[in-house]
Amino acid sequence: MDNQPALNPYLALFFGVVAVSTSAILVKLSGAPAAIIATYRILFTVLLMLPIVLWKHLKEIMGISGRDWSLTALAGVFLAFHFILWFESLNYTSVTSSVVLVTLQPLFSFAGAYFFFKEKVRWLGLVGGLLALLGSIFIGWGDFKVGGLALWGDVLALLGAGMVTGYWLFGQSVRQRLSLMSYTFVVYGISTLTLLLYDLVLGYPLYPYRSNDWYVFLGLAVFPTLLGHTVFNWAIKWLSANIISMSILGEPVGSAILAYFILREKVTQVQFIGGLIILFGIYLFIKWNRPKVTETAKADALEA
C-alpha cells in the first residue's frame, strides 16, 4: 500500500465536494422531467462503470446469492425514488432549501437503524438531530410564506431524504459481503430498470430532448456521481470515515454558491439561518455517532 498518495487527500476531498455540489445545479439547468433526468443520470453512470465491472468484478456479481439479489433490488428501488423525489423538489423550491433538507439523510438513516436494529444514539447526537429538525421547520416556515409550491418542494426534498433510509437499510447487510464497485453497479442497474419502468408507466418519453439536456444527463453521471462519490471512496484510504462523513456538510454550501453565480438564486435570511442550524445539527449528529469501520470498508479503501 502506498503511504504517500499522488494527490493530497484533503484537496481531493475539496474537489469531491465541489463535484457533488453541481448535482442540483445541473438538474435546474435541464428542462426534462425529473424522472427522465434521474433515469439518464443512473443509466449513463452504469454504462461508464460497465468496462471496469466486466474486467474485474463480473465473477463476484455472478456469485451473488438470491437473498442478496432481493435485498439489493429493494435498495435499488428506494434509490430510484430518492432521485425522483429530490429532482422533482427542485421544480418547486430553491437549490439551497432542497439540498439542505436532503442533507438530513443521516437522521432518516438513524431512525431506521434505531427501530430495526436498536442502534443507540449519544445525547449530543440527539441534540444535533433535534437542531437539524428545528432548522428544517424554520426553512419550511420561511418557504410557506414565499408560497405553497415552495413548501411542497421542501416536502418532496424531505421525502427524498427519507427514501435513503430504505436504500441504506436494505443494502447495508449486502455491502458487508460485496465490494463497493460490484454493489454499486448492481444497485445502479436495478435503479435504472426501476426508473425506466416508472417512465413507461407514467408516459414520460425517453426521447427526443434538447442537446442541452443530454449534456446535463452526462454531466450528472460524470461530476456528482463518478468524480464526486468516487473521489470520496478514494480519499477514505487516507482519511477517516468521520472526516468523509463530515464532507456532506459542504454540499449545501457549495450548491448555494454555485446557484448564486449560475442561476442567480439568492439565499434568503430565513434559508441562511435555517441552513446554519441544520448544518450545525448534522455536524453534532455525525460527530457523536461515528460508524464503526468494518473489514469490508477497509477492503474497499484499499481497492479504491
CB atoms closer than 10 angstroms to residue 207: 7
For 112, left (φ over 0), alpha (ψ -120 to 50), or beta? Answer: alpha
pLDDT value, residue 260: 87
pLDDT of 1 over the 50 cut: no
Residues contacting 166, CB < 8 A, separation 6+: 74, 75, 77, 78, 112
pLDDT value, residue 250: 80
Distance CA 220, CA 236 (A): 22
pLDDT of 148 over the 90 cut: no
pLDDT of 49 over the 60 cut: yes
- Taking alpha carbons only, the member of 77, 74, 83 closest to residue 33 is 83
Residue 204 host element (H or E): none
DSSP 163-198: HHHHHHHHHHHHHTTS-HHHHHHHHHHHHHHHHHHH
pLDDT value, residue 296: 43
Q: Grid coordinates representing 288?
A: 457523536
pLDDT value, residue 48: 95
Percentage of the chain exceeding pLDDT 70? 81
Q: Per the structure, how many domains does the chain have?
A: 1
With cut-offs at 50, 70 and 90, classify the pLDDT of residue 147. Answer: low
Indicate whether 269 belongs to any domain.
yes
- Taking alpha carbons only, the member of 180, 169, 173, 183 closest to residue 299 is 180
Indicate whether 4 belongs to any domain.
no
Higher pLDDT, 157 or 116: 157
Indicate whether 2 belongs to any domain.
no
pLDDT value, residue 245: 65
Distance CA 167, CA 160 (A): 11
Range of the domain at 190: 13-303
pLDDT of 299 over the 60 cut: no
Question: What is the per-residue pLDDT across 153-180, written as a single tens digit (0 to 9) for each?
Answer: 888 988 988 887 788 778 877 877 888 8
Please, what's the b/e burial string for 280-299 (b: 16 or more CB within 10 A of its CB; e: otherwise)?
Answer: ebbbbbbebbeeeeeeebee
Average pLDDT over residues 29-43: 95
Indicate whether 5 belongs to any domain.
no
pLDDT value, residue 151: 79
Average pLDDT over residues 115-139: 71
Percentage of the chain exceeding pLDDT 90? 37
Question: What is the per-residue pLDDT across 83-92, written as a single tens digit (0 to 9) for each?
Answer: 999 999 999 8
- What is the DSSP secondary structure assignment for residue 208, as one 8-state letter? -
Distance CA 48, CA 84 (A): 21
Distance CA 141, CA 4 (A): 49
Indicate whether 7 belongs to any domain.
no
Q: Which of 52-66, 117-131, 187-201, 253-267 has the highest mean pLDDT?
A: 187-201
Indicate whether 3 belongs to any domain.
no
Query: Are 105 and 162 in contact, with CB atoms under 8 Å apart?
Result: no
With cut-offs at 50, 70 and 90, classify the pLDDT of residue 240. Answer: low
pLDDT value, residue 280: 84
Distance CA 126, CA 130 (A): 6
Indicate whether 48 belongs to any domain.
yes
Higher pLDDT, 37 or 260: 37
